[in-house]
Structure formats: structure tokens, C-alpha cells
Amino acid sequence: MHDEEPRIRADAARNRRAILDATAGLLAEFGYEHVTMDRVASAAGVGKGTIFHRFGSRAGLLHALALDDANALRHGVSSGPPPLGPGAPAEKRLFAFFDALAANVVANVELVAAVSDSTPESDAEPLHKFWHEHTRILLTEVRPDTDTDLLATLLLNTLSGSPVLRLIRDGHGTRYIDSVRTLITSMIRAGATSTHPSAAS
């Protein structure tokens, strides 16, 4: 028995990956409402019982997928290539980070809507803390003239909420991403001019 454990763990990890990938594919192709456990099982080549065993419910599966996407972005920030990862100037990292977050919201809008309704606040908390801390640290370099802690919360707040989800669902995803870019670029530019009092309003 003992010798089989590594193989069983490898199978389980492969199944998990296959189920999450199948779910992501079905979400992109058919939309949130049409992702049934039967379809996921069939697309992933596993039994429905395996999915329930591992994820508990359809909500649990979608939640796991959302956390998986978020963790991929977190990994990109911590140890991926610049400008998202370390090694680029703070302005470029801030821009790349919000660009990636906005693109993530647009790509997963149905998932984000479903998860933000059903996820207990505490589950998302470690990730939100990470986003906030990363933003705050970058702002400390880009906008040392501001209350970076509060400003990080305000900027991250443009990535959630029903008005944002509504306009993405209405087909304005590209315009949304562009406007997040405008917002971040403006914060950066205004920092560059903030040493010239004549530019202040």
C-alpha cells in the first residue's frame, strides 16, 4: 500500500487539474449558467462522484477555480517575469498588476459574480490582503505623497462591485480594461507632476 501513495497523489493532482481546466473551458464556451457537473465530468474524463468528492458542490468547484486563477496571478506577481513580477520599476509593476487584475475580472466575470455572492469573506481575505499589500508597497514608491494604505483600497475597489460587473456583462470589457489603465496612468502621472505646485488644482 505504502508504495502506491505517490502514484495515487499524482493521479489526484492530475484529476484536480483536469477538472479545473474543463470547468474553465466550459465557462468560457457556454457561460456560467450552462456549466453543469455532468458536462464537467464528461469534459474532464472523470466520474461525477470524483468531482463531488473533491469539491463538495458546484459552488465549491467554482470557488476553487476562482482561487486557482487568483493564485496564478499571485505567483506571477511574486516570481514571474517583469513587469508583473519583480525587476521592473514600480510604475510599470503597478500598471501591469492592475492590467492583469482587470483582465482577470473581465475573463472571469461570471465566475467573479458567482463567487462574490457565495464566498465567505474570510476565504478571500488572504488574497485580498496580498493584493492590498502589493498595491500599497508599489504606491509608496510611485506616490509617496499620498495615504498609500487608503489609496490602495480605493484603487482595488474599482475591480469589484455590481456596477463594474454589469458593464462587463453588457459587453464593455475592453473599455473597462482601458479605463483602469487610464486611472492607474493618471495616478502615476500626477505623482510625476506633484513636485510642481503650479500643476496642482
Contacts to a second copy by CB under 8 A: 91-92, 95, 121, 128, 143, 146-147, 150-151, 153-158, 160-164, 167, 172, 175-176, 178-180, 182-183, 185-194, 199-201
Give 43 or 188: the residue with its C-beta nearer to a second copy. 188
Q: How far is the CB of 61 from a second copy (least distance, A)?
A: 25
Give 54 or 172: the residue with its C-beta nearer to a second copy. 172
CA-closest candidate to residue 90, choices 195, 184, 196: 184
Angstrom CA distances, 61 to 53, 54, 118, 124, 171, stand at 11, 8, 12, 15, 26
Q: How far is the CB of 192 from a second copy (least distance, A)?
A: 6
Give 134 or 143: the residue with its C-beta nearer to a second copy. 143
CA-closest candidate to residue 187, choices 57, 78, 97, 56: 97
Residue 83: all three cell numbers together: 513587469
Q: How far is the CB of 24 from a second copy (least distance, A)?
A: 26
Give 54 or 181: the residue with its C-beta nearer to a second copy. 181
Q: What is the C-alpha to C-alpha distance for residues 139 and 143, in angstroms, rounded to an integer? A: 5
Q: How far is the CB of 201 from a second copy (least distance, A)?
A: 5
Give 35 or 152: the residue with its C-beta nearer to a second copy. 152
Q: How far is the CB of 42 from a second copy (least distance, A)?
A: 37
CA-closest candidate to residue 54, choices 5, 111, 13, 24: 13
CA-closest candidate to residue 183, choices 106, 101, 108: 101
- 72, 118 in Cβ contact below 8 A? no
